[in-house]
Amino acid sequence: MKQHISYSELSKWYACPYQHKIVYVDNNKLFKGNIFTAFGSAIHKVCENLILDSPIGNDFFEEEFSKELDSLEESVLPEEKDIFLKQGQNIIPHILPAAKEYFGEYEVFSTEEKIYEKIVHNNLDLCNFKGYIDLVIKKDNKYHIIDWKSCSWGWDSRKKNDKIITYQLA
């Protein structure tokens, strides 16, 4: 029996059970990442460091983004990289001010909080759900869960209302 399932695995199965089989049963990873995932990973690291008050230099994002790009199988055109670097440089100055404006004073409870919860159906232990919560903050004795998302185009109403996408937060 499978030990655990992640949100990524669940969403792959929901979209196409056959593709789920290829990736998770046959262990044939079809998707190797791209400039968008590299950008998201680099921004994620910036967010985490900023929220934890870890000092980051002016070149932190560019260094992290370059590391992520180097790990890709496909090469990226310099013009593409420059566009994403500029987007990151535009976003980064707004991260902490936005958090402080929205939450005011808060306490960072945890980052990359691992969750591993039993999935029970009809009194059967099926497996565990495995995931990570990007950020948990505490304010006024309430805990707030934050999932970092980044994209260059924003989320339209279709994406915001897609039940499988919103399951990740639920």
102-108 average pLDDT score: 93
- C-alpha 51/C-alpha 39 separation (Å) is 18
Q: What is the DSSP string of 135-154?
A: EEEEETTEEEEE-----SS-
Q: How confident is the model at residue 106 (pLDDT cuts 50, 70, 90)?
A: very high
b/e sequence 113-123, b meaning 16+ C-beta within 10 Å? eeeeeeeeeee
Amino acid making up residue 29: K
Kindly list the domain boundaries of the chain, sorted by start residue.
1-16+105-170, 32-104
Q: List pLDDT tens digits, range 120-140.
A: 877 777 788 899 999 999 999
pLDDT higher at 12 or 159: 12
Q: Tell which phi-psi region holds residue 81, choosing left (phi > 0), alpha (psi between -120 and 50) or beta.
A: alpha
- C-alpha 1/C-alpha 3 separation (Å) is 6
